[in-house]
Amino acid sequence: MSSPTPASAHPSRPAALVVVCLLTLLEAAAAVGLAVAWAVDLVRGVSVRPAATVFLVVFGLGVALVLAASARGLWRGRRWARSPVMTWQIMLVVLSVGWLGVESSLWAWGVLVAAAVVGVGLLLPAVVAVTTAPREDASGAPGTPSGTPKRR
Give the residue extent of every domain in the chain: 15-134
The predicted pLDDT at position 9 comes to: 45
The predicted pLDDT at position 1 comes to: 53
pLDDT of 112 strictly over 60 = yes
pLDDT of 148 strictly over 80 = no
Assign 10 a pLDDT band (cuts: 50, 70, 90): very low
H or E element, residue 2:
none
Give the C-alpha separation, 61 to 54, whole Å. 11
Question: Are the CB atoms for 71 and 25 separated by under 8 Å?
Answer: yes
pLDDT of 149 strictly over 70 = no
The predicted pLDDT at position 103 comes to: 94
The predicted pLDDT at position 8 comes to: 47
Question: Are the CB atoms for 129 and 17 separated by under 8 Å?
Answer: no
The predicted pLDDT at position 17 comes to: 97
Higher pLDDT, 5 or 96: 96
Output the CA–CA distances (angstroms, integers) from residue 51 to 9, 23, 27, 64, 115, in the order listed: 50, 30, 24, 20, 29
pLDDT of 7 strictly over 90 = no
Assign 145 a pLDDT band (cuts: 50, 70, 90): low
H or E element, residue 76:
none
How does pLDDT run across 16-48, given as a tens digit for each residue?
Answer: 999 999 999 999 999 999 999 999 999 999 989
pLDDT of 138 strictly over 70 = no
Question: What is the pLDDT averaged over residues 57-84?
Answer: 97
Dihedral sign from CA coordinates of 25, 26, 30, 36: positive
Question: What is the pLDDT averaged over residues 87-107?
Answer: 96
